[in-house]
Each structure stands twice: as structure tokens, then as C-alpha cells.
Amino acid sequence: MSELGVRAGVMGPQPIASRRLPPDSLFEAARRIFTLLIGGGKTELLAMTEPQAHDQAAAVADSVKPGVYNSGTIIGTARSANHYFIKARLTGENVEPFKFQVRLGENEGRWTIREALNLTGVRSGWSK
Amino acid sequence: MQRMIPVDKLARPEDHILIPSQRLRAARAEQGLSFQAMPYEEDFLKARLHGICAGEFQAMEAAGRTLYDFPDAPWEFQLDMARQVWDESRHAEIYLKLLEYVGSWYGEFPEGEVLWSCTQAEDPAARVAGINRGLEGLACDVFEQLIRLAQKMGDTVIERSVDYVLADEITHVRMGSKWMRKLTEGDPERLRKAQEFQDSIDILFSFGGGRPSVEQVPQVKQRVAGKEFEFDARTPLARESRLLAGFTEEELDRLTKAATRSTAY
């Protein structure tokens, strides 16, 4: 009997194209950002930020209390053509999670920050 | 009671990326891309269906909100809005399945807020003018084009699914036309304000001054879902569907002229 949980195993139209999943290198870049934010590596963070987003990235870095967070989690990703938005959360013990969002674009094999937004205390990325 | 709730009060899964449209435009511009994704770029179909799917969710929420916001409106008006909620929820399900069909998923792209911004009217007459005539009228244009695109691709799944949805959208525009007139009977000032609100939305979505007819739209070589063919360089005005939906010739001429005054694109 066909496995009904697998699309190809059921009747009806099959997908006409395959999914394009975010590349592993993007997740590596995100993990690097977590490490830099958690460890107070603002200078290194700005080094991986395009000039137009320096102020935004600096504001996010300044909002992260040093030494209180110990891990980062990707909440979600979405892409606009070849750029990826990443929503993420830093967590630690006895501290409110820090939520932020960045847009990353690849430049000569290196992912750089194109915009950054602190989402802590706002309802969503739509909040103005 | 609070009416016109701000967009960031809409409930969304936490893993969805929500971005003001202005920032989405900036992200695309930085990659050397226009906001409309035309001429069609790689993955155009995924992005277009995703945008429509998000629009169906917001349309469902908008009709539900209109039902809730105006408890003193005529019972028939409320019934129409309730019916529209049901229609839009079915459309959202259809587009979720179409996304899967084209190798995408809801959440692959960010969701913008610009459609919800078009619901911000205190008067039910203006609300239906903006949502049912402005936005659903635009849906007629976009869906008709998508049907023709699917025909070019030889894809009956997309063609028939979107045709099914378009039939509903036409009834939604008709509801908007009916209620805009009925709710403003004997009050020309209220009618004028409702029409003005709709005009502001029509101008917002006039796509940079280019709303030719289906017959006049320039054809360029496109590559969609691995197939190459000549197709529209822009989104034309779906005159036939809009006439079916109750727009007058005069209104359609006004829409074409409004296309030169867009501030959005």
C-alpha cells in the first residue's frame, strides 16, 4: 500500500518544481552572528555588515547585554530573491529572550548583513 | 470599540517573517530588481503565488473584521461579509496547495502589510469600496493574467484553480459595488468619501503608470517554470472581468488614467 504521508505516493497532481531550501552556509553565518552578539563582538559583527546597515547592526549589538545569553535559535527564514531574512532569538538563564531579525546577502561567497532590526518588545516586524 | 486595528495585531505564526513593504522594496532594489518581478525572474511563479496566498489570508481577516466592526450594519451586509470570510478561507487553502504544487511553501517569502493598510476605513461603505472594489478588483487583474500565463504554460491545474477563485472575486466586487451604493443612499457626501478611499487604493496599485488592456499589453520573452514564451511585460487591466463585476466603463477609464499617478511604484 502506498505511503499516504508522501506526496508522490498519493493520487493527484505532483509538484512541477522542487523546493529551494536555504543553503547551509546561511545557517553558518547566522550561528556566527549569534556567537558575536553573545560574546560582545560588535567590531567583528560590523565587519560582516554592509556600510548601509552599520547603524542598525550596531544598535542591535548595543541592545544585547554582554554575558547573559548563552545560545541562539533561528525562529524562521524567508527570502527575497537571493537575500534571506532571518528571525532569531538569544536566550540565557534568568533573562528575557532577545529577539531580532537580519537580512543577509551573499557577496563573493560571504554572507553579509544588509539590515538588522531589534524585535524585542515589539509585536512583529510590521511594527513601525 | 477599536476599529481599524493596526497590521501588527494580526496573528501570525512566530516563524513567519513580516516586513513592511517599503523594506521589501529596498531588499529587491539592492539586488537590482524591480518590485513587480517583471519581466519574470527565476522563481517568479513561487513569489507571485505566495503574495496572493498572503493576500487571501489578509482578505479573510479583513472581511471578518468588517463583520465584527459594524454590528449595526444591515443583516444582509453581515451575511455577505460572513460569506466572504468563508470564500477567502477556501482561497487561502487553494493557494496553499498551489504553493506546494510549484515547489514552494507558505513562509518561503516574507509577508508585506500593504494590503491590510488598504482596510483602514471607519465607514463600512468606504471599507467595502476599498477592499471589495479596490483590492478585489486588483485581484481580478492579477488572476486573469495568471490564468493566461497558465494557459501559455499548458498547466491546467493552475489555470482551473485560479479560474475557480476568480469567479468568487467577481462576486466580491459585485458585493462591494452593491453595498457602497446601498449604504450611501441619499448621502452623496458619504458616497464621495467612499469613492475617494477606493481611488486612493486604485492609485496605490496602478503599477507605475502601466495598466494597458489585455490586447495592448507589450509582449516580451519570458521564462516561467522552465518554459519559454512571449508574455505580458506588465499586469494589464482585466476589463472583461471588471465589467462582469459591476465596474462601469467610466470607472475603468478613470482607473487607466489613475495609473499615471501612482506613488507606490
**pLDDT, tens digit, for every residue of A55-101?**
999 999 999 988 899 999 999 999 999 999 999 999 999 999 999 99
Q: Is A46 helix (H, G, I), strand (E, B) or coil?
A: helix
Examine the pLDDT at B209 and tell me if it is beyond 60: no
Picking from A18, A78, A122, the nearest residue to B108 by CB comes out as A78
Quote the ipTM score: 0.91
Query: Is the pLDDT at A7 greater than 80, yes or no?
Result: no
Closest CB to B102 among A15, A76, A81: A15
- Among the partner-chain residues A17, A76, A105, the one whose CB lies closest to the CB of B225 is A17
User: What is the phi-psi region of residue B100: left when phi exceeds 0, alpha when psi lies from -120 to 50, beta otherwise?
Assistant: alpha
Average pLDDT, chain A: 92
Give the pLDDT mean for B44-65.
Answer: 94
Q: Residue written as cell 482607473?
A: B255
Please list, in sequence order, all residues whose beta carbon lies within 8 angstroms of the beta carbon of residue B256, skipping any fewer than 6 positions away: B211, B237
* Greater model confidence, B183 or B223: B183
Distance CA A113, CA A49 (A): 4
**pLDDT of B19-39, one tens digit each?**
998 899 999 999 998 876 666
User: If you average pLDDT over residues A100-123, what whole number do you get?
Assistant: 94
Q: Look at residue B264 in the predicted model and tell me its pLDDT.
A: 34
What's the pLDDT score for residue B263? 37
Question: Using 50, 70 and 90 to split pLDDT, how confident is the model at B208?
Answer: low
- Measured in whole angstroms, how far is the alpha carbon of residue B81 from the centre of its chain? 17
Residue B94 has pLDDT above 80, yes or no: yes
Q: Cβ B109–A76 below 8 Å, yes or no?
A: no
pLDDT band at B262 (very low <50, low <70, confident <90, very high): very low
Residue B193: predicted pLDDT: 94
Contacts of A15 (CB under 8 A, 6+ apart): A7, B100, B101, B102, B103
> Which of A18, A112, A124 best probes binding to B when mutated, by most B CB atoms within 10 angstroms?
A124
Most confident of A27-41, B27-41, B102-116: A27-41
Contacts of A2 (CB under 8 A, 6+ apart): A9, A10
Q: How confident is the model at residue B148 (pLDDT cuts 50, 70, 90)?
A: very high
Residue pairs spanning A and B at CB distance below 8 A: 95
Tens of pLDDT, residues B160-178: 999 999 999 999 999 999 9
In chain B, which among 7-66 make CB contacts under 8 A with chain A?
7-10, 12-20, 23-24, 26-28, 30-31, 33, 41, 43, 45-46
* pLDDT at residue B240 in the model: 86
Q: Supply the pLDDT for residue B206.
A: 67
d(CA B36, CA B39): 8
pTM of the model: 0.92
B236: preceding bond cis by omega (within 30 degrees): no
Cα dist. B202→B9, B57, B134, B138 in Å? Answer: 25, 20, 6, 8
Range among A73-82, B1-10, B129-138, B234-243 rated most confident: A73-82
Are A123 and B110 an interchain contact pair (Cβ–Cβ within 8 Å)?
Answer: no
Write down the pLDDT at residue A117. Answer: 95
Task: Give the three cell numbers for residue B93.
Answer: 487553502
CB count in 10 Å sphere of residue A28: 11
